[in-house]
Chains A and B, each alone.
Chain A
Amino acid sequence: MDQIITWTDIGPLTDIPRQGARTVEHPAGRIAVFRTIDDQVFALRDACPHKQGPLSEGIVHGQAVTCPLHNWVIDLVSGQATGPDEGCTGTIPARLEDGRVVLGLVPWREGAAHG
């Protein structure tokens, strides 16, 4: 399937707290955009592979976030649960351009799988 990625500016990095996250509403589901202590950005679907907990509300440490509901630790790079837990949430390409956060989004079609 052809997928065209549109790089979409969602706002300045400074609007996301360090070691924290903000969310972006997308028709395919909410996206959590994380900022680490050293100002890297990552984006994941805002739903824990365990029971869909809002990862955007977790504690961010290193390149991981601890889910606020039952403490699964999710790797921000791969979206994979770490340690003994198994599961994966979708990742969305994210990068910084001149201090602005840009997400690589796939145009959403009704019925298409999550990005």
Chain B
Amino acid sequence: MTHISHPSPSGAGRPRLVVIGNGMAGIRAVEDLLDRAPGLYDITVFGAEPRVNYNRIMLSPLLSGEKSFTDIVLNDADWYTANGITLHAGDPVVSIDRLGRKVLAQSGTEVPYDRLLIATGSGPVIIPVPGHDLPGVVTFRDVDDVDKMLAAAGGGGSAVVIGGGLLGLEAAVGLQSQGMDVTVLHLADHVMERQLDASAGHLLAEELERRGVRVITGADTAEIAGDDHVRAVRLKDGTEIPASLVVMAVGIRPNTTLAAEAGIDVERGIVVDDFMTTSDPAVLAVGECVQHRGQCYGLVQPLFEMAKVVGARLAGLETDGYAGSVTSTKLKVTGVDVFSAGDFSGGPGTEDIVFRDAGRGVYKRLVLEDGRVKGAVLYGDTADGAWYFQLLKAGEDVSDRRDTLLFGQAFAAAGGAGTANPTDAVAALPDDAEICGCNGVCKGTITKAIAEHGLTTLEEVKARTKASASCGSCAGLMEGLLAHALGDGYEASEVKALCTCTDHDHDSIRRLIKAKTLKSIPAVMQALEWKTPDGCASCRPALNFYLLAAWPGEYVDHAASRFVNERLHANIQKDGTYSVVPRMWGGLTNPRELRAIADVADKYDIPTLKVTGGQRIDLLGVKKEDLPGVWAALNAAGMVSGHAYGKSLRTVKTCVGSEWCRFGTQASMSIGMSLERMTWGSWTPHKFKMAVSGCPRNCAEATIKDFGVVATDGGFDLYVGGNGGMKVRACDLLCKVTTEDEVHEYVGAFMQLYREEARYLERTAPWIERVGLDFVRSRMVDDAGNRAALHARFLDSQSHSQSDPWAERATPCGQHANDFKTLASVE
């Protein structure tokens, strides 16, 4: 307990001001008061912490070792003395006697007041899971907490930080730089979800992972395990993460107990009016402990605005009062630039402007409403954060520079303001502005090359300058430069973009997913500079497929990017009911399966049973909520999903073949069955159908399938690229083979080649028309090594995708529990 006291210079008679809380807001209010009316009060400050007033937001650099305690002190002991302030540090106030107008501290000290200022801040929220009170569990609020963390970090080991908000992430990075192995557990889907949108949150998590901090989102803590000290954190899903230190950083709660016990109005915080007065006119409150116009704050800027009002009030000066704050956030992690301000959740009537620069790892999003900036999220380049924040607070109409706003303030100052044309915007960039981040090519180099060599196309500029020759993401800027240089003489190249969300075409997207090891939809959207925050119904399913194809076993399928049929594993019908088509391998069935189908149709009142064109039975008109029950019954009889809904293997049709037919030369039924067992569950660019006929009479119609097998006396003719449908295409003969093993290898290789090369929603027929049969032959007929490699890759990805989606959803619990239920019923 430290006491700094002094004899009062002008003796008694001065009103007595008591401040509870020696933190940032309380002392700032005192400073503001002293600025305006020095010596007006006899001031006493109580602080629960045994030290002078310091800059709490600098606890993060204190933890990481970038700063020492003396660096972060705001007012040292001399300041209190010089200003005649009595400080009781390390002596918390335990009660307020409002009638007697005095406070009582833990030590027994009683101090009377004429004016009381409560500035008790807030405290960390502790989630009451078992083990939360074990030694080794700490919070992140004051210097003592940092000391505990540093002591724990001294021994190396592993730390778990619960909470991926501002504080949690700063703690995690700090501990990591102190040599600990750190895992952040975050309940929401992306880190800092209060400050960042999903795209920026994703970039941040990636950057943290790159630095060695593991981030687990959607992590729900069940228990902190350990006997006399923490040993591990256990999640609800059973995962256990070893830890010798656990930091709880899940949120803060205003410290209101003292005020509430004294009968002062308290809701979430201590309720104050615009003049920071509580329900007792003699008592003011300021800082994180207050609630003003329904709002509690957790950042210093609003507290400082409040403190100014308190200072003026105590000094007896006129003030307009406090009207609430719009806040902005920055994350204090060296080398990571994150900024957010205002309301970026969008909402009715708002409009998004998105800018992504993959080369520099930049993401910027402005949300406009009625032509005014309403919110901003910046990642990677936050230089203009202050400017956007200014525009936001001023409520300035920015409609006239909507298209160039994201180029930043420097651009606007250079005369860009008022230009609504992106071409002019590029033109206005300085010569040393980097256009191609990959190859480090500046604007000046490109404009010079265009002028000197009379370049007229993007290809020529690429060849000459190397700009845009790597990732290609700067192609848009280059087009702008060409358009500016050549004026009307320039015609933009005709790239067939996947959709309006991007300038990239299917092929370059596929190539870049591999080349840049992009492994999630947000990663692709950022790296390839998507123009919308989350794509559309055209690009999302395509990206989901390309990622599945590129990273089998690693990429986690994204249900929200699947068309309903593939998401629910059933075909939607015109009335919103579904059809269910179980597999009948090679078109064969048996009494057990037929009985199960009959029983399930009875039990669930399924109105229509139909034999499909794919040689199996369709149960039509099933209600969504009945799907799991229907599947469970079919599963019980050994049947699995027929993927009649999927861009995937559909059916393998067969004829009866040599097993029964008097003309059959090969066992088409058993070959068909084994082909279906090998290939089911695979995802392909479009649906994929096969058939096996036992002789050239071809009763299974194998020559209008994606892959057809027609048995002959000497072996098998293999056909590819056929379909029925609106534009019937008969197959091309790929080659002849002699053994069943070869048939299997060719099927696997062909499906893999198709999967790796064709564009999403391109069936084998148009694909082969585009690339030519010779291309296919050169890859898998002439080149036996490549054929074997394709086949092996096919089998590898099958090992990850060959599981029955129905069985995974037929049980009414677990991760899909909600998929088939309504959320609520109301009267």
Contacts and interface: CB of A to CB of B under 8 A. Distances in A.
A68 B564 contact: yes
A66 B536 contact: yes
B823 A61 contact: no
Contacts of A60: 560
Contacts of B551: none
Interface string B292-308: 00000000000000000
A40 B346 contact: yes
Interface in B522-566: 532-537, 540-541, 559-565
Given A17-B560, A61-B536, A10 B826 contact: yes
Most chain A CB atoms below 10 A, which of B346, B561, B568:
B346
A54 B576 contact: yes
A40 B572 contact: no
A17 B270 CA distance: 36
B532 A62 contact: yes
Interface string A6-18: 0010110001111
Given A57-B568, A62-B536, A10 B189 contact: no
B423 interface: no
A33 B537 contact: no
Interface string A26-44: 1100100100111110000
A20 interface: yes
A26 B826 contact: yes
A69 B574 contact: yes
Interface in A41-60: 51-54, 57-60
Contact of B572 (A10, A66, A69): A69
B109 interface: no
Given A17-B559, A22-B818, A37-B198, A58 B825 contact: no
Most chain A CB atoms below 10 A, which of B348, B562, B576:
B576
Given A57-B572, A61-B534, A62-B352, A40 B823 contact: no
Contacts of A19: 534, 560-561
Interface string B784-827: 00000000000000000000000000000000001000111111
B725 interface: no
B7 interface: no
Contacts of A64: 536
A71 B532 CA distance: 19
A59 B543 CA distance: 14
Given A20-B560, A61-B537, A39 B345 contact: yes
Contacts of A30: 822
Contacts of B824: 10-11, 24-25
Given A8-B826, A25-B825, A108-B827, A58 B564 contact: yes
B537 A16 contact: no
Size bracket of the A interface: 35 or more
Most chain A CB atoms below 10 A, which of B193, B576, B826:
B826
Interface residues of B, number: 38
A58 B537 contact: yes
Contacts of A17: 559-560, 818
B347 interface: yes
Nearest to A37: B534
A23 B534 contact: no
Contacts of B562: 59
B344 interface: yes
B197 interface: yes
B346 A38 contact: yes
A73 interface: yes
A5 interface: no
Nearest to B567: A57
Contact of A38 (B198, B348, B532): B198
Contacts of B532: 61-62
Interface of B: 189, 193, 197-198, 344-349, 352, 532-537, 540-541, 559-565, 567-568, 572, 574, 576, 818, 822-827
12 contacts: A10-B824, A17-B560, A23-B823, A33-B823, A37-B534, A38-B345, A58-B537, A61-B540, A63-B346, A66-B536, A68-B572, A77-B348
Interface of A: 8, 10-11, 15-20, 22-27, 30, 33, 36-40, 51-54, 57-64, 66, 68-69, 71, 73, 77, 103, 105, 108
The 3 closest A-B pairs by CB, nearest first: A66-B537, A19-B560, A22-B823
Given A15-B818, A24-B825, 4 more contacts: A22-B818, A24-B826, A63-B346, A68-B564
